Amino acid sequence: MLYMHDLWVNWFEGEENGYNICRFHEWRKEDGIELIDQIPLVLVDDELFDFIENDLQDLPLSLLQDIHRRTYMKKNQERITVEYAAVVTNGKDVIVFDTLGYTLPVKKSRLIPRQERLVFEMVEGKKPESFKIESSSLKEHHILSLEPGRMSGLTRRERQLKQLLMMALDQLKHSDHPEEVRYWLTEWDPAQYPSIKQMTNEDAWAHLYEGTINGWGVHHEDLCEKLIKGQPFFETIWQGEHSDVSTHHLNSQN
């Protein structure tokens, strides 16, 4: 088995979509960067790589057995054994996972560029190991888990705010005040006001969703800010993305 040493990781927990596991250039100062002392490296096929990167289901039992207690973290000069963790690659991309003792990839991270290049060098010319995905349910994208294409080209901040907007729209759909939907659609697209008055609440919500689902811009941000006003949980997320954030650079490691 191949092993990597002294690996910097930036864990994203409970993420089922690869676009939320941020690349190194989007790491922030306040992210909790950790150091892994030793971790196995596994070359897998494209199917399993995509399954690990873009889902949150049980990993193949044979993979878990292979990597069991082979990872060590360093915390306060102490070497801690990790139950199930590994670096996986399909030869084109890389991801690290830690199951936190469960059987699914609860925490995931990207690598810094230098260590990513090392992964590709280590697996060059080798064949992927074969692991059978035991059973999995077909993943479905929805308003709270958008298709990757809907997030393509957006920055970390834009993705976070777009998810916040979708959460607010989902809440609006199930609101006790359905007449609000037409109000917000008018805010989004005032030119449609004459036809909006004739719409059912369901049609108005569908128009609002279809209008906001693609891309991200000032108009999206303006709607999002107004929609979440007075909702402490949403406002906390909003403020977190508007605080002074800067990229965390590990220049010596790059």
pLDDT in tens, 171-194: 999 988 878 999 999 999 999 999
What global pTM score does this model have? 0.88
Q: Which residues of the chain have pLDDT under 70?
A: 244-254
The pLDDT tens digits of the residues spanning 102-113 come to 999 999 999 999
Rounded Cα distance, 77 and 33, in Å:
16
Task: Give the structural domain span for 161.
Answer: 148-242
Whether 26 and 114 share a structural domain: yes
Whether 130 and 152 share a structural domain: no
| 17 DSSP assignment | S
Question: If we measure between CA atoms, which residue out of 162, 186, 182 comes closest to residue 172?
Answer: 182
Q: For residue 249, is it within any domain?
A: no
Q: For residue 247, is it within any domain?
A: no
For residue 239, give Cα distances in angstroms to 76, 91, 161, 236, 245: 32, 38, 10, 5, 11
Judged on CB neighbours under 10 Å (0-12, 13-18, 19+), 137 is exposed
The pLDDT of residue 251: 46
Whether 130 and 214 share a structural domain: no
The pLDDT of residue 247: 42
Do 72 and 80 contact (CB within 8 A), yes or no? yes
Last residue of a domain, one of 139, 167, 190: 139
Last residue of a domain, one of 122, 139, 156: 139
Whether 110 and 221 share a structural domain: no
Whether 198 and 87 share a structural domain: no
Last residue of a domain, one of 81, 113, 139: 139
Q: For residue 12, is it within any domain?
A: yes
Do 135 and 48 contact (CB within 8 A), yes or no? no
